[in-house]
Amino acid sequence: MTNKWIQKFLSNKPSFEIVMFWGILGSCWLTTLVSAIYSAVEHVSTPAVIGCFLACLFFSILGSIAFLTKKYKASYFVMCIGLCTFIVCPLFFFFGGFKCGMLLYCMASVLICSLYSQFRGRVILVSYAVILFLVLFAYAWEHPEASTQVSPDYTIRDIMTSFIILSGLMFAIVSYLLQAYYQERCTKDELIQQLNFYSSHDPLTSLHNRRYFIDYLKEKILPSPQNFFIFMYDVDHFKKLNDNYGHLFGDKVLARIGETAQAFCLEPGEIAVRYGGEEFIQVIVATDMERAFAKAEAFRNSVSSISLAEEPSATVHISGGLIECFDPKFVSHDQMLSAVDALLYLAKTNGRNKIVH
């Protein structure tokens, strides 16, 4: 239950950096609490017990401040400085100097400093920790009387206990960081996939968008136009549909047309495009105009049979123009689009609900 609560808490944080802060802070808090209890049970020394409880209090206060201020980067920096200076160094002497497991905690502190997000701050923290601990070791070596005197039995127990605690600490930190990184990586990958999709697709109909079609026209059709036809069409009296039934209904009409258009892309090279507003384009592959026109007519009839449950009495019709891309007069994509647009306009002015080619 506790593990699930921690995972839920961490998963709600907005960035990997914040997850890392809470994961390390929580692990340090738990480690100092366990060390305080262990020191009291082992009767190490009163300063050691008090020091561990104060360290636990330090992490509790820092966590509260970070939660209230949301300044996680500064809080992480303060945590590293406080851990190395006011926690590890005094406890090194309280627990017996070189005869205890605090050497392992010194190395763990350097590791925690090395996880700071910004490079410059990371260099400062690691350099500070390394220099501080080298001075600490030199002083403890020259002044062994400064450290609490402990028995050999205590030394081996403390080293083994410290090793077990730190192994669990490192495992917890690495596990949560890897999990947080994986979640963030998956989220970013999904976002990138969505951005890539919507850069070439219309969000309402999921059809290709105008930019994709222009590139497709230039790169795919113009170099080899044989058997390609462009069918441009739009919805008849679409404004009246919006006025009579609402814009939400109009969006549903466009979405249904998009589904129908996509279903008609059966041959390799055929694509459906939402060109803009209620205007669409079908790239049709056929051997001649007669077959291409038959496909366009079949599509027009399918659109005419669209019925939405919200407004079953509403009728949907389209008008369109159809051109063959391999006509010698078309030397650019602009000429193709102008020609098919002119045919679409002709269909609109000649009664609508028809295709002109």
Looking at the structure, tell me whether residues 182 and 256 fall in a common domain.
Answer: no
Task: Report the half-sphere exposure of 201 (CA within 13 A, side-chain side).
Answer: 15
Q: What is the pLDDT of residue 194?
A: 81
107 and 153 share a domain? yes
Question: Residue 149 has what DSSP assignment?
Answer: P
Question: Domain residues for 178?
Answer: 2-197
Q: What is the CATH number for 236?
A: 3.30.70.270
d(CA 28, CA 22): 10
Closest by Cα among 66, 65, 8, 60 to 33: 60
Q: CA–CA separation, 309 vs 256, rounded Å?
A: 12
What tens-digit pLDDT sequence spans the chain (357 residues)?
A: 445 544 554 455 457 778 788 888 988 898 888 888 888 887 778 888 899 899 999 999 999 999 999 999 999 999 999 999 999 999 999 888 888 888 888 998 998 899 888 899 999 999 999 999 999 999 999 998 988 887 778 778 778 877 887 787 778 767 767 776 777 788 788 888 888 888 888 889 989 999 999 999 999 999 999 999 999 999 999 999 888 888 899 999 999 999 999 999 999 999 999 998 899 999 999 999 999 999 999 999 999 988 888 788 888 999 999 999 998 888 888 999 999 999 999 999 988 899 998
What is d(CA 295, CA 272) in angstroms, rounded to the nearest whole number?
A: 13
Tally the domains of the chain. 2
Could you give the angle at which helices 46-69 and 72-82 cross, rounded to 10 degrees?
A: 170
Q: Is residue 13 part of a domain?
A: yes
Residue 203 lies in a domain: no
> Is residue 224 domain-shared with residue 111, that is, in the same domain?
no
Query: What distance in Å separates the CA atoms of residue 314 and residue 308, rounded to the nearest whole number?
Result: 8
Residue 279: strand pairing partners? 234, 276
In this structure, are 95 and 120 located in the same domain?
A: yes
